[in-house]
Structure 1
Amino acid sequence: MGKIEGLRIQNFGPLRDIVMGKTLSNQNAETLNNITAIIGASGNGKSTLSDVFGFIADCLELGVEAACDEKNRGGFHQIRSQGVDEPIAFELYYRETSRTHPIIYELHIDEDPMGRPYVKAERLRERVEGQGRLLSFFYLQNGKGYAFEGTEGGADEEGRSVKGKKVEMELADVRKLGIVTLGAMKQYERIEGFLNFLKSWYLCYFSPDEARKIQTAAPQPYLNRTGSNLNNVAQYMYRENKKEFEKVLREIQTKLPGIEKIEPVRFDNGQMMLKFWETGFKEAFYSPKMSDGTLKLFAYYLLLHESNPRQLVFIEEPENGLYHQYLNLLADEMIQSVGSGFSKQLFVTTHSPFFVNALSPTDVWVLTKGEDGFAMIKRATEYQFVEALSEEGVPLGDMWYNKYFG
């Protein structure tokens, strides 16, 4: 369990310095909701904000140098904000449950004298119960620093230990994240827990063409980024709990327009494919023959019905390829799926007022462009009259479409 209550992004493309929710320097702000929608005109930084999550995930898996070149990012100099010499910096304000203290993760990425990106600083901090101060239980600068074992203790701002077992260390590779190395060791329980949270992120770039591909017979528990393993996930869910999976399919089919029934079909080689019965047709269609919109909706609903859900999901522009009247229902389903606890969090970028109509003003953040060309971000509640109109029943997307804000 766990979720991000706030984040700060500095020097990442057009995101020169933006803050969302509660952070170390913004303690009086409201935390992020379980669903966070980012809206704004094209070119204001929505895709870049989405890529922040992808970049951090790639840093975990590949290291910072490879992450800078991954997905056509073009290297460190193309990623860092124009005219800036400071490091790229991220702060994640994270809480595991309502009963635990927040953990602050800070990551700074800079370039060395050879122009190669490296991890300049990395730190995990936690507020100590009864003392009101932050203690660092993991802190590296240029690959050197310390970490505390177990679940207690840390060092103050002067580096003095307060409880716990402090271990001095130096990493062999400053282009790899320290939490990846230490999070694999059981003695660093807090680092391990935070690393598992980061690893649970799911960044959705669903492609109907990919979902139509015929896969091998290997069951897989989670959809991949493009959805090319849609039938493999169905196979896994069928294998693990056939009755529960059939129940999920019955629930999903009621939400897909024109679909009367969905049935999993298992072949002799162990492979599985989904069969869809459409209104007006006697014969069923296998999933590769379904329309783009039906496949996208099915994939989104399947994602929202995971039995062991990823803790953070980021979906970019779910409206692409979908009929506008389906979007309000999809947004409602997302809101129900994330609930009010700490088990799941959803970020969405969208251009659709129909999707936004299902949301509350505290769910929505608006990206605009400042006079200096860099992005600025505000919660919809910060705009005049928005909350009052919303309380009177005016849908938020309609307000946005009619330029009451944004």
Structure 2
Amino acid sequence: MRIESIKLKNYKVFQDIELNDLPDLAIFVGANGVGKTTLFDAFGFLSDCLKNNVRQALSKRGGFKEVISRGHQKEMIEIELQFKLIIAGKNRLVTYRLEIGEENGRPFIQREILRYKRGAYGSPYHFLDFSLGTGYAITNEEDFDQPDEKLAREEQKLGSPDILAIKGLGQFEKFKAASAFRSFIENWHVSDFHISDARPSREAGYAEHLNQTGENLSLVAQYIFENHRQLFEEILKKMKQRVPGIKNVVAESTVDGRIVLRFQDGSFKDPFIANYVSDGTIKMFAYLILLNDPSPHPLLCIEEPENQLYPSILIELLEEFRLYAKKGGQVFVSSHSPDLLNGARPEEVYWLVKKEGYSKIERASDHPGIRELYAEGDKLGYLWKENYFIGSNPQ
């Protein structure tokens, strides 16, 4: 499953944007405050809505009035994603649409739809359609021999108008598309990595996946070492290539029942704990753990991976992102680094421009001049610095 398009309306600085034909790797650049973090936050928002409800997801961001675009408080927040999903043996384009409003200080879901075409012709059919906490879902959606009027509708009433229908219905296998989309949201990863969280030793425990801040890094390293030894050796091999001098990395149990990361430099006999290695070493190890997860996330959103990393490493990190995408995971990256962009292709690069308080998004490959210069050998980081990405640099 991969995201094909995104539409945002009245979501913070994005009053009305649409991104189509999204690649496996997408890199978003632009000045501070234009909305790179906000774009990724839209995915975090959907995830929070699913974990809790719309009211709590909005409250986490300051409430409806802080999320709705300025000057549009009486309108709806609209989020629409299109993604490819195998249904009845065919790769189908599925659309999920969510409209959120507020009345008397209480948020509500005006409309929630999941739709796709049953055949080669005709309009997409609504397999899930809810408004204000009531609606229906189709239980035999894979029975494509049946005409539309023969599809079995199951009417549902949710406990509250601010609860996503896919939160409940997605738990049941009979609602195929809803179940798949719920799983998709639950398993995407929006990174907010903090070096300070990843360094300390942790209480002994169990963790299979790196969490948002990276504070369980030592536990995940231990899990991969103990359960996927060959994969850990591959991570270690890449670590030696990326960070000069690193000979070994071990997640070690201490006598007081904690897990600590120990790094060994080839020049020294004894290893040293994570507290005494560079920020870049910790961050590169965390990225390699994330990008070599035995069960990859369907979507990774990573903000400013260049921080604490030496510029020459960034091209290699970009290749790691591409390798991850080839395994089936989509990667979205925000960056301020021309060095990172120098390894990118025009179809992978977007820039954000803010005009009159709202942001728009341009794609490098949509601009003939940039395509031609790239084809002649110019690198995109250079073109960005030279202001070929019109409007992307601070004024």
Percentage identity across paired residues of the two chains: 34
CA separation in 2, counterparts of 1:355 and 1:129? Answer: 42
The C-alpha deviation readout for 1:165-210, integer Å capped at 9, x for no partner, is 1111221211111100101122212211111011111011111110
The equivalent of 2:83 in structure 1 is: 94
Displacement of 1:321: 2.1
Output the aligned Cα RMSD. 2.0
Unaligned runs of 5+ in 1: 22-30, 155-159
1:124 and 2:123 correspond? no
Name the SS for the 2:92 alignment partner: coil
Question: What letter matches 2:125 in structure 1?
Answer: L
Counterpart of 2:64 in structure 1: which amino acid?
F
Q: Give the letter aligned to residue 105 of structure 1.
A: Y
Post-superposition offset of 1:288 = 3.0
Report the equivalent of 1:7.
6
**Residue of structure 1 equivalent to 2:329:** 344
1:241 deviates by 2.6
- Write the letter of the residue equivalent to 1:67: A
1:143 aligns with 2:167: no
One-letter amino acid of the structure 2 residue matched with residue 116 of structure 1: R
**Counterpart AA for 1:207:** H
What's the offset of the Cα at 1:255? 1.7
Which residue of 378, 382, 385 maps to 1:401?
385
Question: Aligned equivalents of 2:170 and 2:234: distance in 1?
Answer: 37
Is residue 137–residue 153 contact of structure 1 (8 Å, CA) maintained in 2?
no
The TM-score, its normalising length taken from structure 2, stands at: 0.92
Q: Is the 8 A contact 2:249 2:261 kept in 1?
A: yes
Query: Where does residue 38 of structure 2 map in the other structure?
Result: 48
Which one of 22, 27, 47 corresponds to residue 57 of structure 1? 47
**Equivalent residue for 1:27?**
none
Superposed CA offset, 1:240-289 (max 9, x none): 23343233322333222332332343456775433212254342212232
What's the secondary structure of 2:18's corresponding residue?
A: strand
SS of aligned partner of 2:100: strand
Hey, what's the Cα distance between the residues in 2 that align with 1:271 and 1:213?
10
- Taking the TM superposition and a 5 Å limit, the aligned residue runs for 1:165-184 are 165-184=152-171
2:374 touches 2:380 (CA, 8 Å); kept in 1? yes
CA distance in 1, matches of 2:290, 2:329: 12
Deviation at residue 96 of structure 1 after TM alignment: 2.5
Deviation at 1:383, TM superposition (A): 2.3
Cα distance between partner residues in 2 of 1:10 and 1:253: 45
Is 2:95 the counterpart of 1:111?
Answer: no
Output the CA distance in 1 between the equivalents of 2:344 and 2:141.
Answer: 38
Partners of 1:259 and 1:279 within 8 A in 2: yes
Structure 2 residue runs without a partner (length 5+): 391-395
Whichever residue aligns with residue 359 of structure 1, its letter is: A
Alignment partner for residue 374 of structure 1, among 358, 376, 389?
358
The number of equivalent residue pairs is 385
- Alignment match of 2:373 (pick from 389, 395, 404): 389
Greater mean deviation of Cα atoms: 160-169 or 296-305: 160-169
**1:205–1:225: 8 Å Cα contact kept in structure 2?**
yes
CA contact (8 A) 1:315 1:349 kept: yes
- Structure 2 residue identity aligned to 1:327: L
Contact 1:235–1:271 (Cα < 8 Å) also in 2:
no
For the pair 1:357 / 2:351, whether they are aligned, the reply is no
Structure 2 counterpart of 1:314, one-letter code: C
- Give yes or no for the alignment of 1:245 onto 2:232: yes
Instruction: State the AA in 2 paired with 1:14.
Output: V
Separation (CA, whole Å) in 1 of partners of 2:388 and 2:231: 45
Sort the Cα spacing of 1:268 and 1:241 in 2 relative to 1 into closer, same or farther, 3 A. Answer: farther
